[in-house]
Amino acid sequence: MSGPRDAVADRGAVLATLVAVVFALTFLALPRLGGGWFWETGNALGFLALAGLLFQMIPYPRSGAARRHERLGYWVLATAIAHAFWFLAGDPTLRVYLQPGAPAHMWLGLFGLLALALLCVLARMPDRMRVHRRYRVFRTLHRGLGLAALAGAGLHVLLSGFYLPSWPQAALLVLICLACSLGRRVWARLQAPPRASAGIYLATGAVAGALFVLIRNLVP
């Protein structure tokens, strides 16, 4: 049963904050530099997926919120896939960046997406119980794949140099990644697991994404 303190986390305050922080980070340098609505919309999907992944990485026992964590994971994966397909389907040039000779940041993005997909497949209930007989093995693998996905996604963003070209932005993103991946003791101070529904994820993502596109392409 949720208490008054749980209610704060249940409303998705942590997720909303992470979404806001990730999008705000892109505005610390060249805030009005836009590449057109198509480009920014596709990348807004990518940043939303990154924020969702960061939220999912928060080390906190999810005993009572595992199902919600699982469901949100599918939405994060769907957003990451949408980010990739948005460009593949809409820009015929971009496929060159996933062919032999492509730059490292694209391979890292693909690696992160595959790691995230594998993570979701291997954690799917109730199949998970058959694949992983021992919970400790599952937890180690799940955490390892999560870290791999986050590392791939983070390096994809940083090495592309489009939205986080300055070193303070890169340092802040690394700090956020570390804070969300580690820091178990700090997160343990929360009175309740940082929960969020898919609705909160999509609503905050829609608002942040819209601002991201509009500020970069309409603000003179």
Partner 1 sequence: MLAALFFCGLVLVVTGPPGADDRAGRREPRFGGTIPVLPMTFSHGDHFGQTCASCHHEFTDGTAGPPCMTCHVTDRSVAPLLEDQFHGLCRSCHVTEHAASRPSGPTRNCTACHLPDHDF
Which residues are near partner 1 by CB under 8 A? 30, 32-36, 38-39, 81, 84-85, 88-96, 98-99, 114, 117, 120-121, 162, 220
Percent of residues in the chain assigned helix, strand, coil, to nearest 5:
75, 0, 25
What single-letter amino acid sits at 183?
A: G
When the beta carbons of 63 and 93 are compared against partner 1, the nearer one is 93
Least CB distance to partner 1 at residue 198 (A): 18
When the beta carbons of 8 and 81 are compared against partner 1, the nearer one is 81
The verdict on whether omega for the bond into residue 61 sits within 30 degrees of 0, i.e. cis, is: no
When the beta carbons of 82 and 190 are compared against partner 1, the nearer one is 82
Least CB distance to partner 1 at residue 82 (A): 10
Least CB distance to partner 1 at residue 127 (A): 13
When the beta carbons of 135 and 167 are compared against partner 1, the nearer one is 167
When the beta carbons of 38 and 138 are compared against partner 1, the nearer one is 38
DSSP per-residue codes, 82-138: HHHHHHHHH-TTGGGGGSTT--HHHHHHHHHHHHHHHHHHHH-TTHHHHH-SSHHHH
Least CB distance to partner 1 at residue 88 (A): 4
Least CB distance to partner 1 at residue 48 (A): 18
Least CB distance to partner 1 at residue 163 (A): 9
When the beta carbons of 4 and 101 are compared against partner 1, the nearer one is 101
Cα-based distances in Å from 94 to 8, 48, 97, 102, 177: 42, 21, 5, 10, 27
